[in-house]
């Protein structure tokens, strides 16, 4: 085991939570004490990514959330809207505490890398400050080349290692989908896996789906 990593996205709604749930559940099924941490959940309620991961893994110990805010906005913006304190140092320290206390800690990002997090810092700053590698989750269809390449470039500039890219909800129904995996590999030099649409309404099924379609080589904890 090499340890902790983050699951980051090229934007909002790309499937970070599904991939996080699948990877944490997979690790736990193999006897690894893996724990997901969501630095800040916005849009709560009803959104609760940590609860989804816990349900997929069958135990509350599988995930935790450091802060929850009601507005469905970037964390820093949501905190401003409700006049809440959201210190960046507390978020970073909270994530570090979870990582240190778990055999493998998995930080789930919020939106894309440039999302304002707290204290003038972004999600990218948190990942870089924690000094952990990342798995990138991206959409499969038209438009993902630009978003994925920009995400990889942003991580490269901060010397954050990329373990691989997961193209979520891949069906191969269009020419763009069918060609995107190879093109992304050529553009970024990163390995790409494709994850078909999963029955996300049944969180426990997500673990099987991720295990069956994401190569172990893309998961930093298995390296």
90 known ligand binder: no
- Alpha-helical (H) ranges within the chain are 16-29, 49-57, 75-81, 88-101, 123-130, 144-157, 175-188, 203-213
216 known ligand binder: yes
Who's near 149: CB < 8 A, 6+ residues apart?
184, 187, 188
Looking from the CA of 52 toward its CB, the CA atoms found within 13 Å total 25
220 known ligand binder: no
Who's near 202: CB < 8 A, 6+ residues apart?
none
3 known ligand binder: no
Question: Among all residues, which ones are annotated catalytic?
Answer: 38
171 known ligand binder: no
111 known ligand binder: yes
Q: Identify whether 46 is preceded by a cis peptide bond (ω within 30 of 0).
A: yes
42 known ligand binder: yes
49 known ligand binder: yes
Long-range contacts formed by 80-86: CB under 8 A, 24+ apart: 86/40, 86/118, 86/119
188 known ligand binder: no
Residues making up the annotated binding site for substrate are 42
Residues making up the annotated binding site are 13-18, 42, 49, 108-111, 168-169, 215-217
Residues making up the annotated binding site for ATP are 13-18, 49, 108-111, 168-169, 215-217
């Amino acid at each position: 085991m090499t340890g902790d990593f983050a699951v980051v996205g090229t934007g909002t709604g790309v499937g970070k939570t599904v991939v996080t749930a699948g990877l944490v559940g997979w690790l736990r099924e193999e006897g690894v004490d893996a724990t997901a941490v969501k630095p800040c959940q916005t849009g709560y309620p009803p959104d609760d990514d940590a609860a989804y991961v816990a349900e997929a893994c069958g135990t509350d110990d599988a995930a935790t959330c450091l802060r929850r805010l009601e507005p469905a906005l970037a964390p820093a913006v949501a905190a401003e809207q409700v006049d809440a304190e959201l210190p960046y140092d507390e978020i970073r320290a909270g994530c570090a505490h979870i990582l240190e206390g778990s055999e493998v800690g998995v930080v789930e990002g919020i939106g894309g890398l440039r999302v304002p997090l707290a204290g003038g810092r972004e999600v990218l700053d948190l990942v870089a400050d924690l000094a952990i590698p990342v798995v990138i989750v991206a959409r499969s269809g038209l438009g993902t080349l630009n978003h994925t390449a920009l995400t990889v470039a942003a991580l490269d500039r901060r010397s954050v290692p990329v373990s691989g890219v997961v193209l979520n909800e891949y069906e191969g129904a269009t020419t763009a989908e069918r060609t995107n995996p190879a093109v992304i590999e050529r553009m970024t030099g990163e390995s790409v896996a494709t994850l078909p649409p999963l029955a996300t309404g049944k969180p426990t099924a997500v673990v099987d789906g991720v295990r069956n379609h994401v190569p172990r080589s893309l998961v930093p904890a298995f390296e």
